[in-house]
Amino acid sequence: MYKLKFLFFSISIFLICCSKKQTPADLIITGGTIYTVNDLQPTVEAVAVLGDRIIYAGTTNGANEFKGEKTQLIDLQGKTMTPGFIEGHGHFMGLGFNELELDLMNVKSYDELVEKVKEAVAKAQPGQWILGRGWHQDKWDTKPAKMVKGFQTHELLSKISPNNPVFLRHASGHAGFANAKAMQMAGVNQLAIEKLTKELNDGGEIIKDELGNPTGIFNERAQSLISKIIPKESEETNSKALTLAIQASLKNGITSFHDAGASRGSIALFKKFKNEGKLNTRLYVMLTGFDPSLVYEYFRSGPEIDSTGLLTIRSVKLNCDGALGSRGAWLLQPYTDRADFSGMATLSMDTVAKISQLGLKYGFQVCSHAIGDRANREILDRYEAAFVANPEKAKDTRFRIEHAQHIDPSDLPRFAKLGVIPAMQAVHLSSDRPWAIERLGEKRIKEGAYMWQTLLKSGAKIVNGTDVPVEPINPIASFFASVTRQTLKGEPQGGYEPSEKMTRTQALRSYTLDAAYGAFQEKILGSIEVGKLADFTVFDQDIMTVADSAVLKTNVAATIFGGRVLYERK
């Protein structure tokens, strides 16, 4: 049915374009550099829009043929326009809640973190939870005197919050930091640690000090010991978070968003916003694998594919290992800076195998989080086994590995060979590479970490993004990282492992057409072509030609969604 609708629309557009008297456009955009991400027509002078679709892309004179009395005219005034940017991996509700909770992304020390919590405690009622996210101990300018297994301990935090439970998620989302009050409420103490750890089945770690007391750090699935006692958010708060997420996306030029692991409640809220006409970001939703009943319900009922891409549910997100920052990424060999530990699987590989087989059977894409080289290999093995067992269903699966951050060199060619998409967030290199070498060592970093160009040359398509709220949603930072492989301070000169840089064209595709491909949406999104949706991002300078050092100075000037200007920078 979807193909028939698209064919009918394409024929209609063709008839409109070929008639002697053109149907007037609702919107015509001229006056700047317009990159189409269409190899047959890389740049155009003008674009005409009717409703929410592109009806013309070409010369200014050609676009003027569509001008009518009520046509809105936009002069870019020398600015640059591209297809609407697509966030290829993020957490939509997390983006919204990041606006509501303590933002710890920019704290430079443990003392600064404690000071922020102290300010929040002063404004809170006794017993009220203090929640936040974004701290990363390896990014602090100074480290606390006392650290256990590379992490701070709770005593200083607990001292300033004796009557308020506190839980602060690591920037990666793969560890959490609790104060004494929160641990007391959760029943986590020296006597209970061994029993609670066994219940995690090696999928998490409660970090202890030399006396066996909990330090406040909960790694991977151990976070659930605290999170399960945190009161659920109200419908009003959830709605506010979703509204803030939409606004933040538009402000950053994001017109589509791949939501990596949505809950039952979030999906219900997305549908409510869609029905009310308030969902002004196209959502490609991955069902969270943390709720098997939700996944199996959708397997039974089938994918929900929106022809406009406004709300599509056709994929499953599996969390299979942790992150490098928390040393939870699952490695083939131990960590260089922790020789007794190789990370962990946070999900049974039998489950990955089963969901991969069922995903093929019921028409669902499987998207598996894997950062460590062992996790990537184990998942590729399960995908390949499922493809071999059901070759008819495996012809265009576009199964994905989310992050694919560290891959053994022997596994790099398997992505293109199997048709598996690496959804990689280039900005992670800017944030992580300076300290990741401590985790992996020079050899593993240089041969298998952030291997963008090697993957692209092998024939794989990379979906780019930020993993927001792990990193800010701003796509300019990730675009900069893609083409320079530098930190956001511009270091080192020439970039880390420069042979793995993306070209500007590759980086733009990774945020547009290839990202759309990763969601089976390349026929309606990702490039400026007749018949596609009129989603555009306008930048105040040309990101394809400015000097590397100037890229980070770029701002989103406007965001056009379905032919409507929904954000303009003041």
Is residue 45 within 8 A of residue 58, CB to CB? The reply is: yes
Q: Is residue 96 part of a domain?
A: no
277-316 pLDDT per residue, tens: 999 999 999 999 999 999 999 999 999 999 999 999 999 9
Count of other CB atoms within 10 angstroms of residue 57:
24
User: Same domain for 143 and 216?
Assistant: yes
What CATH number does residue 131 fall under?
3.10.310.70
* pLDDT for residue 200: 78
How does the average pLDDT of the chain come out, rounded? Answer: 94
Domain boundary among 195, 227, 259: 227
* pLDDT for residue 228: 93
Q: What's the domain count of the chain? A: 3
User: Same domain for 251 and 398?
Assistant: yes
Q: Is residue 97 part of a domain?
A: no
* pLDDT for residue 498: 98
Closest C-alpha among 425, 538, 534 to residue 473 = 425
Q: Is residue 459 part of a domain?
A: yes
Q: Where are the alpha helices (H) located in 306-462, listed in sequence order?
A: 349-362, 373-389, 414-418, 427-448, 452-457
Domain boundary among 183, 208, 227: 227
Q: Is residue 136 part of a domain?
A: yes
The answer to whether the predicted template modeling score (pTM) of the entire model surpasses 0.85 is: yes
Q: Where are the alpha helices (H) located in 403-426, listed in sequence order?
A: 414-418
Q: Does the CA dihedral 99-228-126-107 come out positive or negative?
A: negative
User: Same domain for 504 and 394?
Assistant: yes
The SS3 call for residue 422 is strand
Q: Is residue 512 part of a domain?
A: yes
User: Same domain for 126 and 36?
Assistant: no
What CATH number does residue 259 fall under?
3.20.20.140
Is residue 512 within 8 A of residue 482, CB to CB? The reply is: no
User: Same domain for 114 and 200?
Assistant: yes
The SS3 call for residue 486 is coil
Domain boundary among 197, 227, 257: 227
Q: Is residue 57 part of a domain?
A: yes
Burial class (CB in 10 A: 0-12, 13-18, 19+), 78: exposed
> Please, what's the b/e burial string for 19-41 (b: 16 or more CB within 10 A of its CB; e: otherwise)?
eeebbebbbbbbbbbbbbbbeee
Question: Dihedrals φ, ψ of 566, to 5°?
Answer: -105, -10
Q: Is residue 259 part of a domain?
A: yes
The SS3 call for residue 42 is coil
User: Same domain for 423 and 570?
Assistant: no
Q: Is the N-terminal amide bond of 469 cis, ω within 30° of 0?
A: yes
User: Same domain for 366 and 463?
Assistant: yes
User: Same domain for 131 and 214?
Assistant: yes
Structure tokens at 467: 């993993």
* pLDDT for residue 21: 60
**Which residues of the chain register pLDDT less than 70?**
1-21
Structural domain including 320 reads 87-91+234-522
Helical axes 235-251 vs 264-275, angle rounded to 10°: 70
* pLDDT for residue 192: 80
User: Same domain for 244 and 353?
Assistant: yes
User: Same domain for 172 and 25?
Assistant: no
User: Same domain for 223 and 264?
Assistant: no
Structure tokens at 75: 């002069």
In whole angstroms, what is the distance from residue 208 CA to residue 151 CA? 11
The letter for the amino acid at 254 is I
Helix (H) or strand (E) segment spanning residue 92: helix 92-100
Q: How far is CA 35 from CA 41, 83, 193, 277, 463, in A?
A: 9, 7, 57, 29, 19
Q: Is residue 497 part of a domain?
A: yes
What CATH number does residue 23 fall under?
2.30.40.10
* pLDDT for residue 87: 98
User: Same domain for 321 and 446?
Assistant: yes
